[in-house]
Structure 1
Amino acid sequence: MKTLRLLTALALGGGLVLGAYGYLNMEFAPAASAADRTPLYYRDPSGGPNWSAGPRKDDRGRDYLPVYDDQAVPAQTKPQQQAVSPRKILYYRNPMGLADTSPMPKKDSMGMDYIPVYEGDDTDDGAVKLSPGKIQRTGVKSEPVERRAIRVLVKAPGTIQLDERRVSVIAMRAESFVQKVADVTTGARVKAGQPLMDIYSSAVASAAAEYLATITSRVVGGVEMYGRGSRQRLVNLDVPEPVIAEMEKTRVAPVTISWSAPRDGVVLERNAIEGMRANPGDVLFRIADTTVVWALIDVAERDLGTIAVGQSVVVRARSFPGRTFTGKIAILYPQVNRDTRTVRIRVELANPDALLLPDMYVDADIDTADATPVLAVPDSAVLDTGSRQAVLVDKGEGRFEPREVKLGRRGGGYIEVRDGLADGEAVVTSANFLIDAESNLKAALKGFAEAAPRTVDAGATGDRK
């Protein structure tokens, strides 16, 4: 029995020695040779899908295992991306969009996995390919490019002024005296033919007597011509036509002449006073028709190229919010204000309710729309950096191509595209800035990837020297 125990102990001891020897050969011998090599990365000792660019420990305090370039990655530790997709992974890019790539899986400083870039996704046309799930999550929307009329509104301030063609002035053309003034004051409304005042003028009385003498004379020959001259003298003295007609009918020269309103309107100015002496040229009444007024709008010089006579204008008075007045551009004044760099335009507005008063402030919206349809995209489709204007063209199957465009007029939520797009192409209108960021990142990474081999070659050449 003792002999049997001794033999068993020797056998076990020899096995332990052989096992220890083999263990040393398998584990520690490579470690000695590995000291001269640099690991590609470090993998999780438990076989999980975790990677590290440098030495680290797991949550149990175990060291991550180094992986060298001549070692195959164990099947159980391969990244899930390689197991899911049969395509070749070109490189891994930083998940935060930094210009940092890795030939092997790794994590950034925040513990986020680097994103694989597969062969086929790195196209030369700059297109970006997104999965259906990512398109849905980011809210990417596209719509086809169409031709439409661009409605551009030019906004400008202005004031209301009277139509100078609708203003009448009553002034004496000879020395006169105001005998009587009707109950008409400044601001009152008058009708055409309504009496305003009675005037006595020796010049008018003399002309009236002369005219009556000629038309009542029975002298033969030349009377008709002489009578027309006498009547014209009354007209030149601005005697109202109804007064002359009454003289011809009654054959009586009036002592005083009744002056009446020449038009419907508002009395802007009354200077006539009973008993006063009026010299030639003195304005006694000023009357204006306010049923049509002018809106004088000051348009910025930069918008002058889109303004033309006949364009529709909507005017809003600040005194009447919610009320609009519509007219058309009648005249563009041929002068630029050197102080404000504006050009004045004139819009004729109907004012039947007399709400628009002279010198009232208004705001004008000038519709400069061109009836000719042009190729246009929504405002949200354009990525404008100031020096670069681009859109993202939806090529289908999740591929989006950045394309620079030349833009034209803007208005109504759309922008005219003069070059870069064709009718019927689809452009991204929502979440396009995310795709653009992806495209710019892709171009930057590609530039780094192309520069890396050149740098390595240059370094190798320097070492050989």
Structure 2
Amino acid sequence: MKRISTSIAAIATALSLLVIGIGGGYWWGRSQHPIDGATAQTRRDKDAARGERQALYWYDPMMPDQHFDKPGKSPFMDMQLVPKYTDALASGGVRIDPTLQQNVGIRTAVVEVGSLVTELRVPATLTWDLRHESVVSTPVNAVVSRVFVKTPFEPVRRGQALATVLAPEWSSAIAEAQALGKAQSAAARSLQGAAQQRLRVLGVPAGGSRDGGVVLPSPQSGIVSEVLVREGQSVMPGTPLFRVNGTDTLWLEAAIPQAGSAGIGPGTKVQATVTAVPGKTFDGEVEALLPQIDPTSRTQRARIVLRNEGGQLVAGMFAELTLQAGEGPAVPLVPTEALIATGTDSRVIVVGADGSFQPVRVRTGRTGGGRTEILTGLKGGERVVTSGQFLIDSEASLSGALQRLEAPAATQPSAMPDMSESTKNPPPKAIPKYGEGMDGSAPSQERQP
């Protein structure tokens, strides 16, 4: 038993000495090869003197946040470290081999400047044009003696008799006017004007009299949409008796999605098709965009005047509308497929003059015809990637281009980071953990710019 305890103590002592030796050797190598601005700058000066590309640092592509001051093998993966050159950092873009671009099918398009014309297709319902609706009533107490139009939706002509009413006030005024009209004396003729004025004040219709009553004529040609009276019924002054609607024009009530209402207003041209009249298109225009949003469907009602050529359309029909929104100001336009939406913003991949790819944040506007308005971020004339941009976006994320894109302009790092402060006041060295570096080098705590 004592021999076993002695063996365990010997093994523990050996392991402790091994760890101390490795840690001390690592500390000594670290002290001989510090990762500071002076070492990195000296290496860059030597590269510049030889006319070679200047490497700012080396990194493991699987862990790009960890930087090394010289090449070698990655302590994390079984692979060589990759250099990050100053010219690539200055451009802030991503470079892809032309052969790889061809293999993955990367396509580009030029950003055009113009006005986006959008077409919107929505369903609608035909209703009566209330601007051409007339209500027939009497301004005096009366009794309906006869009704000539007894069923709704019956077509009528202007002046056609709708009903006959018995109204004592009207009858006495009409009889007085007729008697004065036949008088020959000068006094009677002077009262003729007053009698006619009384007829107008009482609202006596111009339909004449029939069967001892006064005829109520139709005020316009159209359709009697409502019959609200029957024979023998007594009516009070102002009681509606008939409702007559014109048919030359109809209203289309359409629900416009809130997102598509931009550019639509009074005067917007509209084309409507109705399944009941196949092969024919009816032209109209938006009369008003009602200032009210349906809170459930988030739509806005549009009132459209549609010309009813030939009287083929009737109220209640369903129609399909095609609206062309008015052209807005000229702005950059990109193919919609070029956009990369992240949920919080949108960006595109722009091809630089040197062939590198740079992510650019944009603010989008309307979309139509496969193109999208760019309100901020592009000026026009740039070349953007339309196919394979997600692969480039992933590479930009690894290389740190997206981090520089997300950083505020005032705090973005320059192409060559300022290492003066770290050179003047180097931080105290600490013994690293076992296995953290290799060959006397260790990961730097700098964040990739």
TM-score by length of 1: 0.62
Amino acid of the residue matched to residue 191 of structure 1? Answer: R
Amino acid of the residue matched to residue 274 of structure 1? Answer: E
Choose the corresponding residue for 1:462, options 431, 437, 448.
431
Q: Does 1:351 align with 2:308?
A: yes
Between 1 and 2, higher relative CO (CA 8 Å, sep ≥ 6) is seen in: 2
Q: Does 1:241 align with 2:210?
A: no
What residue number does 2:212 align with? 255
- How far, CA to CA, are the matches of 2:230 and 2:401 in structure 1? 88
CA shift for structure 1 position 376:
1.4
Contact residue 200 and residue 255 of structure 1 kept, 8 A:
yes
CA root-mean-square deviation: 4.5
Choose the corresponding residue for 2:95, options 116, 129, 132.
129
Cα deviations by residue, 1:255-304 (Å, 9 ceiling, x for unpaired): 33333221111111223433444443333222111332223445566766
Contact residue 131 and residue 398 of structure 1 kept, 8 A:
no
CA shift for structure 1 position 331:
2.9
- How far, CA to CA, are the matches of 1:124 and 1:212 in structure 2? 103
What residue number does 1:264 align with? 221
Moved more, 429-438 or 360-369: 360-369
- How far, CA to CA, are the matches of 1:423 and 1:334 in structure 2? 36
Contact residue 129 and residue 399 of structure 1 kept, 8 A:
yes
CA shift for structure 1 position 210:
0.8
- How far, CA to CA, are the matches of 1:236 and 1:281 in structure 2? 14
Q: Does 1:188 align with 2:154?
A: yes
What residue number does 2:143 align with? 177
Amino acid of the residue matched to residue 245 of structure 2? Answer: A
Contact residue 157 and residue 364 of structure 1 kept, 8 A:
yes
- How far, CA to CA, are the matches of 1:166 and 1:243 in structure 2? 24
Choose the corresponding residue for 1:375, options 310, 329, 332.
332
Contact residue 149 and residue 369 of structure 1 kept, 8 A:
no
Aligned length: 362
What residue number does 2:384 align with? 427
- Cα 1:406–1:320 change in 2 (3 A) is same
Contact residue 271 and residue 281 of structure 2 kept, 8 A:
yes
Contact residue 121 and residue 128 of structure 1 kept, 8 A:
no
What residue number does 2:197 align with? 232
Contact residue 187 and residue 267 of structure 1 kept, 8 A:
yes
CA shift for structure 1 position 392:
1.5
Q: What secondary structure is seen at the aligned counterpart in 1 of 2:186?
A: coil
Q: Percent identity?
A: 28
- How far, CA to CA, are the matches of 2:230 and 2:293 in structure 1? 43
Amino acid of the residue matched to residue 141 of structure 1? Answer: R
- How far, CA to CA, are the matches of 2:262 and 2:234 in structure 1? 55
Q: What secondary structure is seen at the aligned counterpart in 2 of 1:197?
A: strand
What residue number does 2:398 align with? 441
- How far, CA to CA, are the matches of 2:403 and 2:226 in structure 1? 81
5+ residue gaps, structure 1? 1-35, 38-85, 245-252
- How far, CA to CA, are the matches of 1:389 and 1:240 in structure 2? 68
CA shift for structure 1 position 231:
1.7
Contact residue 126 and residue 439 of structure 1 kept, 8 A:
no
Moved more, 378-387 or 308-317: 308-317
Contact residue 262 and residue 325 of structure 2 kept, 8 A:
no
Moved more, 226-235 or 316-325: 316-325
5+ residue gaps, structure 2? 1-20, 23-51, 405-415, 433-439, 441-449
Higher gyration radius (CA): 1
Choose the corresponding residue for 1:416, options 373, 382, 395.
373
Cα deviations by residue, 1:325-356 (Å, 9 ceiling, x for unpaired): 55333234455667776654432222346565
Q: What secondary structure is seen at the aligned counterpart in 1 of 2:178?
A: helix
- Cα 1:326–1:458 change in 2 (3 A) is farther
CA shift for structure 1 position 146:
1.0
Contact residue 392 and residue 401 of structure 1 kept, 8 A:
yes
TM-score by length of 2: 0.64
What residue number does 2:173 align with? 207
